[in-house]
Amino acid sequence: MLAVIGGSGLTQLANLDITRREVVRTPYGEPSGPLTFGRLAGRELVFIARHGYGHTIPPHRVNYRANISALRSAGVTHIVSVASVGGIRADLGPGALVVPDQIIDYTWGRHSTFFDAHDGQVRHIDFTEPYDAALRERLIEAAALAGETVVDGAVYAATQGPRLETAAEINRYERDGADVVGMTGMPEAALAREAGLAYAALNVVVNHAAGRGDSAHGIRMADIEAMLQEAMVRVRHVLEKVCESGVCR
């Protein structure tokens, strides 16, 4: 079964035929909200709003472990993460849809693993390719079927937030090889890998990153909100095609 984790601008799936909502308790505390079960394109899907259904949880306070644990306990096998990002690379301007293939993690202090060695065992996961290749391909194919252009491959810089970055920090991330910047990609992706869930991301570029393009001297939040409203309509169409492709059961 497929789950969609919605980020800023996607606190609900307007095209989801909701069947029930379920409050899930986990050993890691409370998830961001109840799991919303429904059908999209005739297939079952689970949705959770990463920042809460009222968008009240900042990136550094999201209980990523509880969210992933709740989805796994609900029988989820695949996760599509939807998140807004800033574009660092010159060709990734506002409105671009991106399916990233790599991550650089700049976050700190977050509960980032299920493997805390409480059972006396040390475990490691292979994270060479942080996103599931098959699910990434499904996203790219679904976008084509929806008539949407997506960028195949980008390096996602995960920052701590909740503040936006300085222009100098963006310069550093670019030197490190990052193409887009966001605040929620980690530890979510790593936790999904630890839980044995296929995970891929659909990023929506909502602004030029600090010091770039029309964000050269500042980022206008009103412009971000307007872009989110337009872009999430396109994201919903892509998700419909993902379900039609059979990822949802």
Give the pLDDT confidence of 190-211 residue by residue, as tens digits.
999 999 999 999 999 999 999 9
Q: Rounded to 5 degrees, what are φ and ψ at 52? A: 90, 155
Domains of the chain are 2-244 (3.40.50.1580)
Candidate from 69-83, 134-148, 164-178, 204-218 with smallest mean pLDDT:
204-218
* 35-66: burial string, b at 16+ Cβ within 10 Å, e else: bbbbebbebebbbbbbbbbeeebebeebbbbb
Is the predicted pLDDT of residue 226 greater than 80, yes or no?
A: yes
State the maximum Cα–Cα separation within the chain, in Å, rounded to a whole number: 52
For the record, the structure tokens of 70 come out as 């709740």
pLDDT band at 12 (very low <50, low <70, confident <90, very high): low
pLDDT in tens, 14-55: 678 889 999 999 999 999 999 999 998 888 999 999 999 888
User: How far is 24 from 174, CA to CA, in rounded Å?
Assistant: 40
Q: Strand 155-158 and strand 150-152: pairing?
A: unpaired
- The pTM (predicted TM-score) of the whole model is 0.93
Q: What kind and span of H or E run contains 197?
A: none
Evaluate if residue 56 carries a pLDDT over 70.
yes
- Spatial CA neighbour of 28 closest among 110, 147, 107: 110
> What's residue 35's pLDDT?
95
